[in-house]
Amino acid sequence: MNDTLKHFQKEQSSVPSREQTTVTECPYCSVQCTMNLYEEKSINGSLYSVLPNHEDPVTEGKLCVKGLNAHVHAVDERRLISPMVRENGTLFNVSWDHALERMRFQIQHLQHTYGKDSIGVYGGGSLTNEESYLLGKFARIALQTKYIDYNGRFCMSAAAGASNLTFGVDRGLTNPLSDVPLAKCIILAGTNIAECQPTIMHYFRKARQEGCKIIVIDPRETATCAIADIHLKVKPGYDAALVNGMLKVIVEEGYVDQAFVEQKTNGYAELKEHLNQVSLSEAAALSGVSSQLIMEAARMYGQAETGMVFTARGVEQHASGVANVRNFLNLVLLTGKIGRPGCGYGAITGQANGQGGREHGQKADQLPGYRLIENPEHRAYIAEVWGVPEEELPRKGLSAYEMMEAIDRGEIKGLIILSSNPVVSNPNSHLVERALKKLEFLVVIDLFHTETSRLAHMVLPGSAYLEDEGTMTQLEGRVMVRRALKPLPGKARLDWRILCDIAAVLGKGRLFQYESAEDIFNELRLASRGGLADYYGMTYSDIEHLKGMFWPCPEEGHPGTPRMFEERFAHDDGRARLIPIEHQNPREIPTQKYPLLLTTGRVLQHYLSGVQTRNTPELNLKYPEPLLEIHPEAAAENGLVNGSYAQISSKRGSIRIKVKLSNKIRKDTVFVPFHWGDDQSINRLTNPALDPTCKMPEFKVCAVRVEPLKP
């Protein structure tokens, strides 16, 4: 290239044309911040940047560091751009026709040999509502298998189980976020909003300015504690004991809203009887929080005129997760703090579509609109919408981790994974890796190669958020339309299109005829009609016009339901259920060999199994490897110094990890984030004990040992 031309190119790229595209939504957490994507075109290619959207209905035009860099992975050159099939151990690029023909052959071969249920489907909470819905339909009527579940099992299931039992329906937040500043006392239990949903922090700051008191319950002093009036540094796994102490104070000191309890709840007598047996000093001893602080917190919440309780995975990811959440709901109900402005409960949902992903049928026991696959009326209704005989719909299958165990036992022979990386995100991941290796046919549909796709027989290039149109339901229960901004890279296909293509080669194409995501949405509306999560009244144009609509929305023209339970709860009698909760110890408690408690979770810069954020240099450089957070005294007792490497082990496995001293964590507890794979994956250690009702694993507590790394 001659010098003049080089100079010209430089000039061109330094004077970019900056065209604003339309608005998109962040692909990461449940806030679903909207943003403007800009493309700077030059002859050297395109450069992208984003700016917050000041018209956003929720965030006051803010984005966190993940959102600001979200586009980076989506336009990365390492994206999967061709279908691939493994031959003699190596993945080769093939055409879609070839891949789909292989798919047909393998599925038919397995189902012919071992039966329909020999294939499983595993979905994710990043999928749009349309795709989550379609995945459930695909499993039930294209594959006719009972085995389908998804990663939300690890995320929302305990809160969902508790809300269903207590209120009769489950929507993450019962109130819009605009209610938060109206609350006079807020409890944040096992939720680290400052790092996990940073752009909603302004609601809580505003509440504080208005005189609200904030109680944070977490074994660590997290960034969220910056807004706390009281921090209850609970021992991991002991929330229910702590809340029993608070409930006792509330009853004994007379903060019960008698009229509300009488008119709107059942079960008070039993709860009161149970609380008579609870001793405050025992609650303190179990939870590691002083009686004094428990009393102060109970008074603060009990005396407040209005108040809200929020929980997230810290309380929920336990083998007693449903019970833990139900005890927090006891607090809400006893004090009558729900169903009016500034009063409600919220399970802060996690993934981009953590809410919608759990409503429309990718759960083992579920049909669209929160219908149940074992309910004869629900089956008949959905069979009619889908145009198949009711008897052909399979029955309920197994939860996510139980599917892995069934694979390990040889009961499932093929698995199609759409938008999840289970080798990193399942508990006890040694078992998961071993199980997936036993499969005769593993298909992974993803954006990148992952720890899971390494084991796959077929890898298909799916669609990222910039390419894929559809609706997402964010943490408030607000449904939003996300428009596609970019064409797909290479031979990548839309996720929903891939499902339709597979259905077509299996001879079920006529049941999967859609031209657009909106077509699928219109079918979903009908399928959800009359269900608890009723989307029937929403249309793309209304949703866009109104900047999102809250379900339930049963008829066209209906405004949606921002605040739930203003009149009645969703049980047939309209009443909510109080219930006595006996404290249960975590399934593993410290022993001489494993004397510390391990809890796991997130850091600001990374997202879940880390595939997207580890592939984003701007984020990865800021937090390049997992760190073991440990109290200086515990570190000294175990011979560890800051910055050194330690070995951390549980009964199930061990990894090598860098030490970070922190006096913000309890002395009996260590914390490790789970965003990394292979020998940096803390899920090699975590306990797969499952909650009996919702099958949530005990990610948040197991017994471990730490020691200096042997050279």
Ligand X SMILES: Nc1nc2c(c(=O)[nH]1)N[C@H]1C(S)=C(S)[C@@H](COP(=O)(O)OP(=O)(O)OC[C@H]3O[C@@H](n4cnc5c(=O)[nH]c(N)nc54)[C@H](O)[C@@H]3O)O[C@H]1N2
420 binds, among Mo ion, ligand X, ligand SF4, none (CB under 5 to 8 A by kind): ligand X
Is residue 67 involved in binding ligand SF4 (CB under 6 A)?
yes
Can you tell me the distance from the alpha carbon of 633 to that of 361, in angstroms, rounded to the nearest whole number?
A: 48
Is residue 680 involved in binding ligand X (CB under 6 A)?
no
Is residue 682 involved in binding ligand X (CB under 6 A)?
yes
649 binds, among ligand SF4, Mo ion, ligand X, none (CB under 5 to 8 A by kind): none
Residues in region 151-190 near Mo ion by CB under 5 A: 155
Task: Please name the residue that has the structure tokens 């339930």.
Answer: 552
Can you tell me the distance from the alpha carbon of 436 to that of 422, in angstroms, rounded to the nearest whole number?
A: 10
Is residue 427 involved in binding Mo ion (CB under 5 A)?
no
Q: What contacts 514, CB < 8 A, 6 or more positions away? A: 496, 500, 520, 523
Is residue 630 involved in binding ligand SF4 (CB under 6 A)?
no
To ligand SF4, the closest distance from the beta carbon of 197 in angstroms equals 5
Taking the CA atoms of 339, 342, 348 and 353 in sequence, report the sign of the dihedral they define.
Answer: positive
Task: Please name the residue that has the structure tokens 């009698």.
Answer: 573
Is residue 190 involved in binding ligand X (CB under 6 A)?
yes
Is residue 447 involved in binding ligand X (CB under 6 A)?
yes
Among 129, 144, 199, 320, binds ligand SF4 (CB under 6 A): 199
Is residue 601 involved in binding Mo ion (CB under 5 A)?
no
State the number of binding residues for ligand SF4 (CB under 6 A): 13
204 binds, among ligand X, Mo ion, ligand SF4, none (CB under 5 to 8 A by kind): none
Question: Judging by DSSP bridges, how do beta strands 34-42 and 17-25 pair with one another?
Answer: antiparallel
To Mo ion, the closest distance from the beta carbon of 700 in angstroms equals 12
State the number of binding residues for ligand X (CB under 6 A): 67
Q: How many CB atoms lie within 10 A of CB 6?
A: 10
Backbone angles phi, psi at 181, to 5 degrees: -65, -10
Among 471, 683, 687, 693, binds ligand X (CB under 6 A): 683
26 binds, among ligand SF4, ligand X, Mo ion, none (CB under 5 to 8 A by kind): ligand SF4
Rounded alpha-carbon distances, angstroms, from residue 232 to 295, 325, 583: 11, 17, 17
Contact stretch for ligand SF4 (CB under 6 A) within 24-32, 211-219, 286-294, 384-392: 24-32
447 binds, among Mo ion, ligand SF4, ligand X, none (CB under 5 to 8 A by kind): ligand X
Is residue 397 involved in binding Mo ion (CB under 5 A)?
no
Ranges of H-type helices in 115-169:
129-137, 157-167
To ligand X, the closest distance from the beta carbon of 388 in angstroms equals 26
Among 241, 418, 581, 619, binds ligand X (CB under 6 A): 418
Can you tell me the distance from the alpha carbon of 208 to that of 215, in angstroms, rounded to the nearest whole number?
A: 11
Can you tell me the distance from the alpha carbon of 373 to that of 412, in angstroms, rounded to the nearest whole number?
A: 20
Can you tell me the distance from the alpha carbon of 275 to that of 349, in angstroms, rounded to the nearest whole number?
A: 30
Is residue 361 involved in binding ligand X (CB under 6 A)?
no
Is residue 603 involved in binding Mo ion (CB under 5 A)?
no
Is residue 489 involved in binding ligand X (CB under 6 A)?
no
What is the DSSP track for 475-516?
A: TTSEEEEE---SPPSTT---HHHHHHHHHHHTT-GGG---SS
To ligand X, the closest distance from the beta carbon of 146 in angstroms equals 21
Is residue 31 involved in binding ligand SF4 (CB under 6 A)?
yes
Among 24, 32, 429, 471, binds ligand SF4 (CB under 6 A): 32
What is the DSSP track for 391-419?
A: GGS------HHHHHHHHHTTS--EEEEES
Using DSSP, state whether 165 is helix, strand or coil: helix
Contact between residue 323 and residue 586 where contact means Cβ atoms under 8 Å apart: no
To ligand SF4, the closest distance from the beta carbon of 471 in angstroms equals 16
To ligand SF4, the closest distance from the beta carbon of 67 in angstroms equals 2
Taking the CA atoms of 228, 234, 236 and 239 in sequence, report the sign of the dihedral they define.
Answer: negative
Cis upstream peptide for 552 (omega within 30°):
yes
Residues in region 579-638 near ligand X by CB under 6 A: 599-602, 604, 606-609, 611-612
On the CB side of 38, how many CA atoms lie within 13 Å of its CA?
A: 13
Strand intervals (E) in 11-100: 17-25, 34-42, 45-52, 84-87, 90-93
Binding site for ligand X (CB under 6 A): 29, 124-126, 151, 154-155, 189-192, 195-197, 217-220, 222, 234, 236-237, 239, 312-315, 317, 350-351, 354, 418-422, 424-425, 445-448, 450, 462-464, 468, 495, 599-602, 604, 606-609, 611-612, 671, 674, 682-683, 686, 699-701
Binding site for Mo ion (CB under 5 A): 155, 350
Binding site for ligand SF4 (CB under 6 A): 26, 28-29, 31-33, 63-64, 66-67, 197-199
